[in-house]
Amino acid sequence: MYYDNGLIKDVMKEKYAKIERRIQVKRDAKSRVSDFKPIYKEFTFTEAKEQGDRCLQCPIEPFYGIESNIEFCRTGCPLHNDTLEWIKHTREGKVEDAFELSNALSPFPEILGRVCPQDSLCQGSCTLSRTEFGSVTIGGIEVYLNEEAFEKGLRPYYGEDKSKSGKKVAIIGSGPAGMSCATFLLRTGIEVEVFERADRAGGLLTYGIPNFKIDKDVIQRRYDWMIEAGLKVHLNSEIKNEEQMQGLLNDFDAIFVAVGAPSGRKSGMKNEEAKGVYQVMDILTHIQKNVFESFYDSILQKKNIVVVGGGDSAMDALRASVRIGAESVKCLYRRDEANMPGSKKELVNAREEGVEFQFLVSPKEITIDDDNNVTGIICQNTKLSEPDSSGRQKLNIIEGSEHTIPCDIIVLALGFDNVKFPWFDTAKIETGKWNDIIVNDEKRTSNAKIFSGGDAVRGADLAVTSALDGRTAAYTIIKDFGIYL
Ligand SMILES: Cc1cc2nc3c(=O)[nH]c(=O)nc-3n(C[C@H](O)[C@H](O)[C@H](O)COP(=O)(O)OP(=O)(O)OC[C@H]3O[C@@H](n4cnc5c(N)ncnc54)[C@H](O)[C@@H]3O)c2cc1C
Ligand code: SF4
């Protein structure tokens, strides 16, 4: 609408022909596969300012508001982050003001700026994304701003005296949903204790998303600040049974359940239980533990790896396997490249790093030796039909096309399901058809004292939507406690 106006178009051309859109510089493939360090370099002030100067500062919000169906960066961001304002302050060098605004609605902007798929969120809704000039690189500016603020000694606000409110909340799971809920509760002066099954906090931010996408120090730093502010984190503390849940119900005024969607889907292939077949999360956790210990002594070293699946977690496993020293790394996907569900950017990155892709192959059976070790995978070639009226192409197996791809390790990256814990019944938490926890708009479950959000409710989704759910639940809990913001 904006850009269709001839005068505005001319003004935009005048401005945007001069400032080129840039993304953060990527390390070259040879250097980046030799370590697990992040592949993108952060913007400098000059780059962030220049990219911030590309922002139109659209006058959309005052006209239409964020609840309208007119898209702009804030409506594209699930948190409705006040992007326009903090970009303006950043480019003017007003770091303190920009930092405060950037942290107001987002519980951890320096993390989301690194992991959000911005092209389908804030940047996908940026007015400039509908022009030949391309969107403002919001994620890059968000990371620059927050890192610059930390460098200058600024810290996120986590509230005053936690005993004042007299209220205590338990959070089960320390991923982005739990971490976000804890953030907004702490800010309001509420005592919070997190119970986490793993040996480190952060959920999939720590043990799912690989280190080359987000350095784990960035997650731990946030947790350290929250702990300094009074958060209690109980690691290696799985809530397993009904007694434990009853204990939490007795000891806490509210509970937020943020257990994610941890169950990897099976393939149904013959010999799926053979030695050498792994779920994608087992492999990613194994590799990240190696990175934490810096010993790089991995079951994947010098092995021929096949990853089955074409989504983002498949890309992560492929690229992590290259770095840990696999002999060869192959991706098998049953549709074609255009139909891959994973991000195109990650596909390019994986190719640059030496991953081989085989499209239009459908794995059928795993071959094994006498000791039940994987020796290969039998595949059939596939063909896509012409698109039907809905645009969907049917997948057909090509008869007689069976062939075996030799390999030592098979990684299944076929998606995730929710898990119904036995204590859901004790706590009277209702679940849906897919074991997803049922909540209302305020993130309250069928038990008025228990809330939930993130992947436990949505099924496998995103860090930013989990952060949104954590924030919504925190606001409801705060309101229940009679605290007014
Ligand atoms: C490989 C991979 C890569 C991804 N990459 C991206 C990305 O780049 N960008 C993005 O936005 N999203 C990405 N996602 C999705 C994103 O990580 C998730 O949507 C998000 O982490 C979900 O947050 P959550 O807090 O609901 O759950 P999780 O992050 O899954 O956290 C749940 C936590 O609960 C703990 N837990 C579970 N059960 C119990 C229990 N009974 N007691 C105590 N603790 C328990 C778990 O150990 C875990 O730490 C990725 C996911 C995967 C698997
Ligand atoms: S939180 Fe994610 S979607 Fe929102 S502004 Fe930041 S990068 Fe964009």
pLDDT of residue 336: 94
pLDDT of residue 33: 96
pLDDT at 430 exceeding the cut of 90: yes
Residues whose CB falls within 8 Å of the CB of residue 391, separated by 6 or more in sequence, listed in order: none
Q: How much distance in Å is there from the Cα of 140 to the middle of ligand 2?
A: 10
Looking at all shown ligands, the one closest to residue 170's CA atom is 1
Query: How many Å lie between the centroid of ligand 1 and the Cα of residue 245?
Result: 21
Return the ligand number nearest the Cα of 453. 1
pLDDT digits (tens, 9 = 90+) for 1-60: 555 566 666 767 777 767 889 899 999 999 999 999 999 999 999 999 989 988 878 777
Number of the ligand 2 atom closest to the C-alpha atom of 76? 3
Q: What residues form DSSP beta bridges with 366?
A: 377
From the options 3.50.50.60, 1.10.240.10, 3.20.20.70, 1.10.3720.10, give the CATH code of 168-262+417-480. Answer: 3.50.50.60
Would you list the domain boundaries of the chain?
Answer: 6-151, 168-262+417-480, 266-414
Q: Which SS3 state, helix, strand or coil, does residue 435 take?
A: coil
The proportion of the chain whose per-residue pLDDT surpasses 70, expressed as a percent, equals 97
Ligand 1: residue whose CA is nearest its atom 49:
203
Please, what is the average pLDDT of the chain?
93
Kindly give the number of the ligand 2 atom that is closest to the alpha carbon of 467.
Answer: 1
The residue assigned the tokens 């096309």 is 401
The response to whether residue 462 sits with its C-beta less than 6 Å from ligand 2 reads no
Q: What is the pLDDT of residues 286-336, one digit of tens each?
A: 999 999 998 878 999 999 999 999 999 999 999 999 999 999 999 999 999
Residue 386 CA, ligand 1 centroid: distance in Å: 37
Q: Ligand 2: which atom is nearest the Cα of residue 116?
A: 2
Ligand nearest to the CA of residue 105, numbered in listed order: 2
Q: Give the mean pLDDT of 82-102.
A: 95
Distance 2 CA to ligand 1 centre (A): 38
What is the 463 CA–ligand 2 centroid distance (Å)? 10
* pLDDT tens digits, one per residue of 246-296: 999 999 999 999 999 999 999 999 999 999 999 999 999 999 999 999 887
Q: For atom 6 of ligand 2, which residue has the closest CA?
A: 113
CB of residue 408 inside a 6 A radius of ligand 2: no
pLDDT in tens, 160-197: 877 778 999 999 999 999 999 999 999 999 999 999 99
- In this structure, what DSSP letter does residue 26 have? B
Q: Which fold has domain 266-414?
A: FAD/NAD(P)-binding domain (3.50.50)
CA neighbor of 16 nearest in space, from 166, 127, 158, 96: 127
Ligand 2, atom 4: closest residue by C-alpha: 77
pLDDT value at position 164? Answer: 76
Among 130-144, 311-325, 409-423, 438-452, the least confident range: 130-144
Q: For residue 144, what pLDDT band results from cuts at 50, 70 and 90? A: very high
Average pLDDT for 341-369: 95
Which ligand 1 atom is at minimum distance from the Cα of 178?
25
The stretch 69-77 carries a mean pLDDT of 88
CATH number for the domain running over 6-151:
1.10.1060.10
CA of 146 to the centre of ligand 2 (A): 13
In angstroms, what is the span from residue 81 Cα to ligand 1's centroid? 22
Which pLDDT does position 153 carry in this prediction?
97
List ligand 1's pocket residues with C-beta within 6 A.
115-116, 172-178, 195-198, 203-205, 208-209, 213, 238-239, 258-260, 262, 284, 312-313, 316, 421, 454-456, 461-464, 466
Other CB atoms within a 10 A radius of the CB of residue 270 amount to: 13
Q: Name the closest ligand to CA 136.
A: 2
DSSP string, 243-281: HHHHHHHHH-SEEEE-----EEPP---BTTTSBTEEEHH
Do the beta carbons of residue 212 and residue 32 sit within 8 Å?
yes
Q: Taking residues 460-466, what's their average pLDDT? A: 97
Amino acid at 328: S
The pLDDT value recorded for residue 5 is 61
pLDDT band with cut points at 50, 70 and 90 for residue 389? confident
State which H helix or E strand residue 49 sits in.
helix 45-53
Using CA positions, which residue lies closest to atom 20 of ligand 1? 463
- pLDDT band, residue 130 (cuts 50/70/90): confident
How far is ligand 2, taken at its centre, from the CA of residue 346, in Å?
Answer: 18
Q: Who has greater pLDDT, 72 or 359?
A: 359
Q: How many Å lie between the centroid of ligand 2 and the Cα of residue 165?
A: 31
Q: Could you give the CA distance from residue 40 to residue 25 in angstroms, rounded to a whole number?
A: 6
Ligand 1 geometric centre to CA of 366 (Å): 29
Picking from 293, 282, 107, 280, the residue whose alpha carbon sits closest to that of residue 202 is 107
Distance (Å, rounded) from C-alpha 419 to C-alpha 435?
A: 6
Q: Is 357 helix (H, G, I), strand (E, B) or coil?
A: strand
Q: Distance from the CA of 228 to the center of ligand 1, in angstroms?
A: 24
Residue nearest to atom 1 of ligand 2 (CA): 112
pLDDT for 472 beyond 70: yes
Paired strand residues for 373: 275
Mean pLDDT confidence for 115-121: 94
Does the pLDDT value for residue 198 go beyond 80? yes
**So what's the pLDDT on residue 7?**
61
Residue nearest to atom 3 of ligand 2 (CA): 77
Q: Which ligand has the shortest distance to the CA of 121?
A: 2
pLDDT of residue 2: 54
Q: What confidence score (pLDDT) does residue 392 get?
A: 84
Contact 355, 329 (CB under 8 A): yes
Average pLDDT over residues 232-245: 97
Q: Which of 105, 98, 99, 101 is nearest to 79 (CA)?
A: 105
- The tokens 């255009």 sit on which residue? 338
Residue from 259, 289, 321, 426 to probe ligand 1 pocket by mutation (most atoms less than 8 Å from CB): 259
- Ligand 1: which atom is nearest the Cα of residue 419? 38
Using a 6 Å cutoff on CB, does residue 121 contact ligand 2?
Answer: yes
Q: Which ligand is nearest to the CA of 80?
A: 2
- Residue 205 CA to ligand 1 center (angstroms) comes to 7
Same topology, domains 6-151 and 168-262+417-480? Answer is no
